[in-house]
Amino acid sequence: MTSTVRVVRLDGLERLPEALAVIHGAFAEYRDTLVPPSAALNETTGSLARRLADGAVFLAEDTTEAVLGAVCAEIRPDMVYLDRLAVLPAARGRGVASALVAAVEAFAAGSGASSVTLGVRLALPGNIAMFGRIGYRESKRTAHPGFSEPTSMSMVKTVSARQL
C-alpha cells in the first residue's frame, strides 16, 4: 500500500525520540554486518539535539502521522551535509528517502548553500545507486580510521535558490 509522505522539520526537542527510534530502527540491519560499524547506532537524543542546533532534523510521516523516516542536515561553510538518512524497512520503496532528501536540498538552497554533500559506505551499492539516480555524484573516497583502503565515498549535488 502506498501512502502520501509528508516531511516536517522539527522545531524543538519534543520529537527527537521519534527521530532516534527511526534512525536506530533503520540502521539495525547493519549491526554486526557493516565494517566498520555504523555510528548511527550510537546516536542519542542529546546528539540529535546538537544536530538540530547545527542545522535541521526532518521526519517523514504518512497520512496517519506514523513516522517512516528521518534525516539530519548540518550547515557548513557554503554547503549542507546530509546525514543519518533513515527509512524504516517497512516503508522503503515508497518515496520516503527521496522526500527527505528533497527537504534537505530545499533547506540547503534556502540557507544559501551551493551544494548538499553526504557520505555513503562503499559496502552499500544500493544506497550509492539511489543517490546517483537523484543527481548526486561521487566527489572523493575515504578510509575510516584503521583501514588502508577506502570504505566510504562522498557524494555532492549542486543546489540553488531556484529549487525553492
**Tens-level pLDDT at each residue, the chain (164 residues):** 445 899 999 999 999 999 999 999 999 999 988 988 899 999 999 999 999 999 999 999 998 888 999 999 999 988 999 999 999 999 999 999 999 999 999 999 999 999 999 999 999 999 999 999 999 999 999 999 999 999 999 999 999 865 44
Question: Where are the domains positioned within the chain?
Answer: 6-163
Give pLDDT, residue 64.
85
User: Which pTM value belongs to this model?
Assistant: 0.92
Please enumerate in sequence order all residues whose Cβ is within 8 A of that of 40, keeping only pairs 6 or more positions apart, or say none: 23, 24, 26, 27, 30, 84, 86
In terms of Cα–Cα distance, which of 67, 61, 55 is closest to 11?
55
SS3 30: helix
Q: Residue 114, Cβ neighbours under 10 Å: how many?
A: 13
Q: What DSSP letter does each residue of 99-154 carry, written as one string?
A: HHHHHHHHHHHHTT-SEEEEEEETT-HHHHHHHHHTT-EEEEEE--TT-SS--EEE
Instruction: Enter the C-alpha cell of residue 116.
Output: 548538499
CATH superfamily placement of domain 6-163: Gcn5-related N-acetyltransferase (GNAT) (3.40.630.30)
